[in-house]
Amino acid sequence: MHPTIESLFDAAERRYLEQNELDVLTEYVESLPDRVDAYRCLRDREVAIMQSVADQLEIQFSTESQETLERCLRNALLMMRHAAMSMLQNDSELLDQQLTVWLTETNAVYNTRAIDTALYSLLNQQLEATLTPTQLKLIHPYISAAEQAMNAQSEPITVTA
C-alpha cells in the first residue's frame, strides 16, 4: 500500500484525519476501481501483449541469440508485473525496491541496452493499443520509471503521475 495511505491508517489510531489527509485517502479510494481494472486488463492480456512485442523484437534483432531475446522478454514481463502491482497499490517505492538494482545490474551484465530500448518502445506501443486512456494513464508512470531505471546506472527511480 502507498506509504502515505498507510501512514493515514496509522494516524487514525491516535486521532481523526484532517481534511487534507481525507482528500488523499478519498483520491486513493476513488481511483482504486480504475487501478483494479487496469491490473486485470494487463493480467488478462499479458500473453497477447508480450507475444506481439516478441514477434516484432525477433524481426528487429534477427542476428541476436534466442537466449538473449528471451532473457530481455522475461525481464520485461517481470518488470510489467512489478509495475502493475505498484500501480495497483499506488506505491512507487514498491517498484523502486523490487526493480531498480535488479534491472540495472541485469542490463549491465548482459549489455542489452539496445534490445531493451527497442523492447520498451514496442511494449509502450502495445500498451497504447490495448489499454483504455485511463488505464494507460495509470500504468504509464510505472513503465516509464522502469525504463528510466533500465537507462540509469543504479540511480533511484522516480514515478511521476
Place of cell 528471451: 70
Share of the chain above pLDDT 90, in %: 55
Q: Could you say which DSSP state residue 152 is in? A: S
Q: What is the pLDDT of residue 153?
A: 52
Provide DSSP, 99-117: HHHHHHHHHHHHT-HHHHH
Q: What is the pLDDT of residue 160?
A: 64
Euclidean distance between CA atoms 102 and 13, whole angstroms: 37
Q: What is the pLDDT of residue 1?
A: 58
Q: What is the pLDDT of residue 65?
A: 93
- Helix, coil or strand: residue 18: coil
Q: What is the pLDDT of residue 155?
A: 45
Q: Considering the entire predicted model, what is its pTM?
A: 0.82
**10 Å Cβ neighbour count for 83?**
26
Residue spans of the chain under pLDDT 70: 1-2, 12, 100, 152-161
Q: What is the pLDDT of residue 76?
A: 92
